[in-house]
Homo-oligomer: A and B are copies of this chain.
Amino acid sequence: MAEGPKVVGDLIECGYRPRHLYAVEKWIESHPDTNVITVSEEELKKVSFLQHPQQVLAVFPIPNADMERPLHPQLYLALDGVQDPGNLGTIIRIADWFGISTIFCSPDTADAWNPKVVQATMGSIARVHIIITDLAKLMQETTLPIYGTLLNGESIYQKTLTEEGIIVMGNEGNGISAPIRRLIQHRLLIPPFHKGAESLNVAIATAITCSEFRRRGLFPRERFIF
């Protein structure tokens, strides 16, 4: 379920076909060709998960993203037990920003199609494939390098980072689980810059890690899109 012109619009633009689409007059006026059920503001309020419903609400079938085998030589994220829907939504938005087209989620990661997650992605869920899978099996089968942020890692700023690979991010409280940790080939650490600081939120750590991988690709060749 997706709400609001931005999120619903992004999904439709990316080829998602809504199974049900409800909107107030204002939205319908600017989308004259859409097959939609007109609702009043009050009716929308009744079914919305948002505190302030935003004109349109749509129900989509959950997409079935197939895993390419073998994996393409590109950058992937793998989430090992990320629990908070807000964090998961933010991570999907970060992946979209950095052109990471597929995220692998362990079965115990939060549900990416939970409406809270969908809204937190701000529409990015339309552009990022989510594949729920056994991460250990995936990591054992692939020939791509496997990176993870761990407390005993080496500074990400000084490690060699490849343009392709799987970046594993762990649970908010416990980090990467023991079975997955053993399969990490390259242990990365985002070093704190003073002694008091103890932790970074997992979405923040994901952003810094993705930024660091992508910036390497810019030098010496330039890979900007504009």
Contacts and interface: CB of A to CB of B under 8 A. Distances in A.
Interface in A144-189: 155, 157-158
Contacts of A129: none
A200 B207 CA distance: 10
A62 interface: no
Interface of A: 10, 86, 90, 93-94, 96-99, 122-124, 127, 155, 157-158, 190-201, 203-204, 207-208, 211-212, 214-215, 218-219, 223-226
Given A93-B200, A94-B204, A212-B211, A157 B218 contact: yes
Given A94-B204, A155-B224, A203-B204, 16 more contacts: A90-B201, A96-B196, A97-B190, A97-B197, A98-B192, A99-B194, A99-B197, A123-B198, A127-B194, A127-B196, A191-B224, A193-B223, A200-B207, A204-B204, A207-B207, A211-B212
A168 B200 CA distance: 21
A128 to B, nearest CB: 10
A218 B157 CA distance: 8
A201 B89 CA distance: 11
A207 B211 CA distance: 10
Contacts of A195: 225
Nearest to A96: B197
Contact of A191 (B10, B86, B94, B226): B226
Contacts of A193: 97-99, 214, 223, 225
A127 B201 CA distance: 17
A17 to B, nearest CB: 19
